[in-house]
Amino acid sequence: MASLKQTQVLLMDYILADKLCDSAQADKYSALSAIITANSHEDCQNRIGIYASAYRLRLIETIETDHEILCCYLGDELFDKMAQKYIDTHPSSYRSLRYFCDPLPQFLNDDTFFSQYPILSHIAAFERHLLNAFDAEEQSRINFSEFEQLAPEYWPESRLRFHPSMQIYQCQSNAVESWQALKNQHTPPQPDYTLASSWLLWRGKERLTEFISLAEYQRVLLEGFLKGQTLAQQCELMLNYFNEEQAPVKVLQAIRSWFEMGLIRAIA
């Protein structure tokens, strides 16, 4: 008699394999059916098939939940094609389905058929960023008043530490605009790959995921602080975009807005 572990392995192999179509798969089915109680051959097939179908349906449901707008963009037929190919290519390897769709943007980028439409990968990547922002660890946030209370001599060397939910997404199409249109139940625009945009995503103080577009200097400023640059270094960096009077003003305006948005957790 097969042990519990052997039975589990046989069942998992059968579920993860393609439909019964060759001798190897037939052997798996034969070994599994020998230890399953059933009234007939057909009954055994049905019982095993329930598990196989439930596995794929649960994974499809996960894709639909994590990538609701991508599913809308694709439509039922293309979504089903994408989901089936993705499950075959990336069977679940985690105990939690939270990470099952992490490779989806890269899959869409690499797949022979879906790579013809790069916006699909861009929409999927944006939705992964939204999910990562929503699921990020919660940490306390500080107010701008704490920054103002710093002694002037400490300002030039001060550094900012951001809330874990903060994400920057750089997109090479109008994928986010298309996502917004579908979210508002509007027809999305035609794909435009001449657009390059940057987006800031985070989970706000009300625990809702938010996002805004970024001007180039704002993205550069955020990336600088993320790399550990000081306030003085950031003001110097902004001289690439503004004159000597405007640069520090723009930096302080940006910092104040980040505090108001709940992006700052600490000053170092």
All domains of the chain in start order, with CATH: 117-268 (3.90.930.50)
How would you classify residue 34: left for phi > 0, otherwise alpha for psi between -120 and 50, otherwise beta? Answer: alpha
**Angle, helix 118-135 to helix 175-183, in steps of 10 degrees:** 70
Q: What is the pLDDT along the chain (268 residues), one digit of tens a residue?
A: 567 676 666 666 666 665 444 555 556 556 666 666 655 555 666 666 666 678 889 999 999 999 999 999 999 999 999 999 999 999 888 888 999 999 999 999 999 999 999 999 999 999 999 999 999 999 999 999 999 999 989 989 999 999 999 999 999 999 999 999 999 999 999 999 999 999 999 999 999 999 999 999 999 999 999 999 999 999 999 999 999 999 999 999 999 999 999 999 999 9
Q: Are 188 and 144 in contact (CB under 8 A)?
A: no
Q: What is the DSSP string of 142-157?
A: --HHHHHTS-GGGSTT
List the structure tokens of 15: 């579920």
List the structure tokens of 134: 């929503």
Of 84, 64, 85, 60, the closest CA to residue 73 belongs to: 64
Strand-pairing partners, residue 212, are 200
